Chains A and B, each alone.
Chain A
Amino acid sequence: MEILRSGLLQRALLEVVIVGATCGALGVWLLHVRNAYAAESLAHAMLPGLVVASLVGAPLLLGAAGGVLAAAALIALAGRDTRVGAEAAVGVTVTTAFGLGAVLALAPDVPARLGELLFGDLLGTSTPDLVAAGALGLLVTLALAAGHRSLAAAVFDPVAAPSLGVHPGRMQLALLALLAVAVVAAVQSLGNLLVLALIVAPAAAGIRLGASLRAQIAVAASLGALAGLLGLVASAELDVAAGAAVALAAIALWVMAALLRPAPAGAGAGAQGTRRSPLDALSG
């Protein structure tokens, strides 16, 4: 297969497999604490950081890191007023961040790489990029492995956790920090807009298919890596955008998992069945 012959594709493959596996594993935790929205917001709100890094010629990873930190801080601040609500406040932050990123990137006489920042530049993975992704992926994996028992306690039995020496609040923060690291690693391959696919889809599939927590994580990581492989191959064979192909592959895998193993009946049964409003399911 051509993919194994070209150095460019080899790097891209390694990168996307590492990123896919890492995001898959982390995503399982994020879904269990019901934080898909936080993932989406952080990943999107860091766009200005990426643009600034691109403009000044700094490594993207640096811009991503700065952007994520700023985004997390702003989101935390914005959500404090209960009248507006956390959901709307996050929306304000994300859309303003998009706007700021676009203003900086689309202003004239600026070499705009906005498309790559938004949708990724998987095929442009350089060796330093690969090394960085590997290091970050390793960091996340080790952190998850080391903290597995504490995380499990915090997530599944938050009431009892403090007596076990685990603080749910701190675990949540730790997860978000790891999310930031994973997003920084993933942004090269999928870009700001599409990272969410690798964070949520393989994890959702893993939760559906795995019988135990460890099984879920293993399945999610494998599916994440598989999505990377499938997407890259599809992109090479069909000549379509690589990052987008990987994102769609991840989502397709999730759809298949959902069809294979439909969710248990009765989940969320309480509110359903009453002739109420279509907004019950949609709104936060």
Chain B
Amino acid sequence: MSAAVEVAGLSAGYGNGAIALRDVSFTATAGQAVAVLGPNGGGKTTLFRALLGELPAATGSIDLVGMPAYVPQTERSRLDFPVSALDVALMGAYARTPWYRRIAGSDHALARAALERVGLTDRAGLRFGALSGGQRQRVLIARALVQDAGVLLLDEPFAGVDRTSEEAIMQILDELRAEGRVMLIATHDVEQARRWDQVLCLAGSQIAYGPPVDTLTNAVLEGTYGEEIVMLDCGHRAVAIQHHSH
């Protein structure tokens, strides 16, 4: 299996010289889902931006095939924008449509299919902002499906999401893994991280990378989250994480 994402010695920062992320190295192969854990400000977003090509890497290298699809948190989108769920899904076809061409009929069909896949066919015509948080997240995933990218970057896709949407999203992600795509999922949910293939712990620099059983240890988690963590020890290793409000 060839590597779909290979990052070696990556350090990246913002223009004023401050390095936000130090020395990150990991390899993810096709069909792998990587949970990206870490406190806010620890570099998860910086990593994603670097992978999207928005931040020039200070040092190190990024090797990935094609442009990743980005599924952001929905608060960052403009909820009052005059776009329907279908419009948003269609945005996934923009990269392959030159500015002087209308969006192809085949892409329209793809968008509808993607919405059906996330279970939102009957909401296709509604304004994006009128949907619930979980439904909005699913629309953004549909957009990523239309993009047909090999690599998906998801920013806390389960945050504040209702049960139905959570299950629908989980199912899609499993399907995408089976299709051989690579997913990086930024999350605060340690329990959820256990079900993915690899875990990357970031706290300004790389604390650990590996299968959950190796990385989700007390030592690593303390190293990642520092004082933000509250550990409960009642037989099973249950961990509660406090994080700052955004």
Contacts and interface: CB of A to CB of B under 8 A. Distances in A.
B49 interface: yes
A59 B144 CA distance: 64
A160 to B, nearest CB: 14
A5 interface: no
A108 interface: no
Contacts of B15: 269, 272-273
Judged by DSSP, the binding face of B is: loop
Contacts of A269: 14-16, 18
A276 B54 contact: yes
A273 B13 CA distance: 8
Interface in B30-80: 49, 54-55, 80
A275 interface: yes
A274 B80 contact: no
Nearest to B41: A270
Nearest to A270: B14
Nearest to B54: A274
A266 interface: yes
B207 to A, nearest CB: 22
A272 B80 contact: no
Contacts of B13: 273
A274 B20 CA distance: 13
Contacts of B80: 82-83, 85
Contact of A266 (B18, B49, B54, B55): B18
Interface in B79-99: 80
A145 interface: no
Contacts of A274: 14, 49, 54-55
A17 to B, nearest CB: 40
A82 B81 CA distance: 11
Contacts of B17: 265
A266 to B, nearest CB: 5
Contacts of A270: 14
Nearest to B17: A265
A270 B13 CA distance: 10
A82, A272, A273, most chain B CB atoms within 10 A:
A273
A264 to B, nearest CB: 10
Interface string A256-284: 00000000011001101111100000000
Nearest to B45: A270
B1 to A, nearest CB: 33
A203 B13 CA distance: 33
Interface string A75-112: 00000001101000000000000000000000000000
B53 to A, nearest CB: 9
Contacts of B16: 265-266, 269, 272-273
B14, B49, B55, most chain A CB atoms within 10 A:
B14
A276 B54 CA distance: 8
Given A83-B80, A85-B80, A272 B14 contact: yes
Interface string B220-233: 00000000000000
5 contacts: A272-B15, A273-B14, A273-B15, A274-B55, A275-B54
Interface of B: 13-18, 49, 54-55, 80
Interface of A: 82-83, 85, 265-266, 269-270, 272-276
Given A265-B16, A273-B14, 11 more contacts: A82-B80, A83-B80, A85-B80, A265-B17, A266-B16, A272-B15, A273-B55, A274-B14, A274-B49, A274-B55, A276-B54
